[in-house]
Copies of this chain bind each other. A is one copy, B any other.
Amino acid sequence: MVDTPRPPATLADVAERAGVSRQTVSNAINNPALLRPDTLARVQEAIEQLDYTPNQAARHLRTRSSHLVGLRLGPAQEFTANMAMDRFVHALVEASREAGYHILLFSGGRVAEGELPDPLGGYDDLLRSTAVDAFVVTDTYLGNPQTVGLAQRRAPFVAFGRPWDDTAASHPWVDVDGAAGVEAATEHLRAQGHERIAWLGWQPGSRIGEDRRAGWHRSMATHALSTTGLEAAVSDTVDAGREAAATLLDTSGPTAFVCASDTLAVGVLHALAQRGQKPGADVGVVGFDDSQVAQVMGLTSVRQPLEEVAVHLVAALRALLAPGRPASDGVLLQPSLRIRASSVR
């Protein structure tokens, strides 16, 4: 009753069945145009009948290409980055599939208390063991030791995130224009009649944070609105956001908040609830990331086009791995604003 799990068919099996040589079968798969139509048909029929699928390992060994792309899941990813990571991974898997690639997840390894994570942890082995063809690097917000390190090792990779201050960088990258997103958010609040629009951002040192703040500043300048006393820089937690919002409300009476993250925006919502003020009607609030939290709480938020990011990353990957390496380049995509109750009067 037990149908013995026969070993999968090989090229040789197909060749024999179709009455051709192994090479011809190989061509039928990788270069069908080279075959005469009738031969091709015969081979394809044999493939069908034997339910043949090429052995990846053998192909990989021969062609030195695994069609695998490595993606490192950070050691206990930063909360903020985490909020959108899920969507990004989905998008990347989908985009890769269409290009014939699979995503290989790996971990940076556990980081001991008080130790800095090895920025290249895990990359090296995967690369040298020829387990992956290339990497997608996402955590460029840490500064960019990994892009530099990978470049030194001549590892093929594409980055989600600009090479901010590394002018020597010469790898392909895709990023989202955070400043433009925040600017649109600020414009939106202005259009709702707000003039005292506060910025709730992160502590200095994050290029991403500085970029987003710039969008607020630009918009305020455009409308000749004062920004003095209207900003705070805190760590990316709900509590920090709540406290900072409360202080700002007490000291300089903003009527709206633009935040560097949904997390901070939720903090603002908490502060408003504590004082019995209604988001939207009383005080406008906009977050960043369009996380599930924003969707569920009715929080207006800047949404990164992660699906598009993924498609561009995969396109860059293909170009990178194709024979004639074209010049590296960067792509900057525009986010969109998801307007919900928290910013509408």
Q: Name A's B-contacting residues (CB within 8 A).
A: 5, 8, 51, 53-58, 60-61, 64, 66, 68, 73, 77, 82-83, 85-86, 89-90, 93-94, 97, 102-107, 109-110, 125, 128-131, 154, 238, 263, 266, 291-293, 296-297
Contact = CB atoms under 8 A, between A and B. Distances in A.
Nearest to A262: B296
Contacts of A130: 8, 55-57
Nearest to A66: B57
3 A-B pairs with the lowest CB-CB distances in the bound complex, closest first: A57-B60, A53-B128, A57-B61
B73 A93 contact: yes
Given A5-B154, A106-B93, A125 B77 contact: no
Within the oligomer, what is the number of copies of this chain?
Answer: 2
Given A8-B130, A61-B58, A97-B107, A296 B263 contact: yes
Nearest to A295: B238
B128 A296 contact: no
Nearest to A122: B97
Contacts of A73: 89-90, 93
Nearest to A53: B128
13 contacts: A53-B128, A55-B61, A57-B66, A60-B61, A82-B86, A86-B86, A89-B105, A93-B105, A102-B104, A102-B131, A263-B296, A266-B297, A292-B293
A89 B93 CA distance: 14
Contacts of A8: 128, 130
A54 B129 contact: yes
A93 B107 contact: yes
A125 B100 CA distance: 12
Given A60-B61, A83-B292, 17 more contacts: A5-B154, A53-B128, A55-B61, A55-B129, A55-B130, A56-B131, A57-B66, A58-B61, A73-B90, A82-B86, A82-B292, A85-B86, A86-B86, A93-B106, A103-B105, A293-B293, A297-B297
A22 to B, nearest CB: 16
A297 B294 CA distance: 11
B94 A102 contact: no
Contacts of A57: 57, 60-61, 64, 66, 130
A8 B85 CA distance: 33
Contact of A102 (B5, B64, B106, B128): B106
A8 B297 CA distance: 52
A54 B94 CA distance: 30
A49 to B, nearest CB: 14
Contacts of A125: 53
Contacts of A106: 93, 97, 102-103
A159 to B, nearest CB: 19
Contacts of A296: 238, 263, 266, 293
A58 B64 CA distance: 10
Nearest to A131: B56
Contacts of A129: 53-56
